[in-house]
């Protein structure tokens, strides 16, 4: 048994514990019922419940809710659309959300899976400072699905990622010309 002041009293019968608690005007609360002998404490039960609630509330406040954001791509995506979707993915990853990349294939596009894989590889390379590939399910029906998990320390390197994407865009434009 533990007293109201936090001092250990020792092993006492339950009746004696109850009388000591009544004398102090407090409650006898069983803290660890599985211990041998069970641990009891003399305290104000209402105050004890209040502190437990407060601790739970603080713990819930500190929890980070992770959302799954989906970005859909096609194998015929144009450069501007690609950069827009890349910017959105970077924004989601910086917030700490997971990103689900879905490469959709329509009609005869399914015979050119390599084009879609090339775009997905470029996308993963562009966000490699911010995220890792958590799950690569490969081709499922008419889509390739990738899950990107944000890196814990990667949230500060956003500017370098967008710069590398812009330099690649410029390089691809000069190659096309």
pLDDT digits (tens, 9 = 90+) for 93-145: 998 899 999 999 998 888 888 999 999 999 999 999 989 898 887 888 889 99
CATH number of 1-47: 3.10.20.80
Going by C-alpha positions, the residue among 135, 133, 139, 80 that lies closest to residue 105 is 139
Would you place residue 170 in the very low, low, confident or very high pLDDT band (cuts 50, 70, 90)?
low
Range 15-19 contact pairs with CB under 8 angstroms and sequence separation of 24 or more: 17/42
* pTM greater than 0.85: no
How many Å apart are CA 167 and CA 30, to the nearest integer? 66
| pLDDT for 155 beyond 50 | no
Rounded to the nearest angstrom, the gap between the alpha carbon of residue 109 and the centroid of all alpha carbons in its chain is: 35
For helices 79-95 and 158-176, angle between their N-to-C axes, nearest 10 degrees: 170
CB atoms within 10 A of CB 77: 18
1-47 and 68-176 agree in CATH topology:
no
Tokens for 108?
């005869």
Does residue 172 register a pLDDT over 70?
Answer: no
b/e map 83-101, b = 16+ CB within 10 Å: bebbeebbebbbeebbbbb
- Hey, where are the domains in the chain? 1-47, 68-176
| Superfamily designation of domain 68-176 | Translation initiation factor 3 (IF-3), C-terminal domain (3.30.110.10)
Instruction: Please tell me the distance from the alpha carbon of residue 164 to that of residue 177, in angstroms, as a whole number.
Output: 20
Contacts of 119 (CB under 8 A, 6+ apart): 73, 75, 77, 82, 103
* Cβ–Cβ under 8 Å, residues 113 and 144: yes
pLDDT of residue 135: 84
What pLDDT is stored for residue 53 in this prediction? Answer: 93
């Amino acid at each position: 048994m533990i007293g109201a002041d936090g001092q250990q009293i020792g092993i006492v019968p339950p009746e004696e514990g109850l009388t000591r608690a009544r004398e102090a005007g407090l409650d006898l609360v069983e803290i660890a019922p599985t211990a041998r002998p069970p641990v009891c404490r003399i305290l104000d039960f209402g105050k004890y419940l209040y502190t437990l609630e407060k601790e739970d509330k603080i713990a819930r406040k500190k929890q980070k809710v992770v959302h799954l954001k989906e970005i859909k791509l096609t194998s015929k995506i144009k450069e501007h659309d690609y950069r827009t979707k890349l910017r959105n993915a970077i924004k989601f990853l910086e917030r700490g959300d997971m990103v689900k990349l879905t490469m959709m294939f329509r009609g005869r596009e399914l015979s050119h899976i390599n084009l879609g894989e090339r775009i997905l590889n470029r996308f993963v390379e562009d966000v490699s400072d911010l995220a890792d590939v958590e799950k690569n399910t490969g081709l499922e029906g008419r889509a390739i699905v990738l899950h990107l998990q944000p890196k814990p320390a990667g949230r500060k390197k956003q500017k370098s990622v967008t710069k590398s994407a812009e330099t690649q865009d410029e390089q691809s434009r000069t190659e096309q010309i």
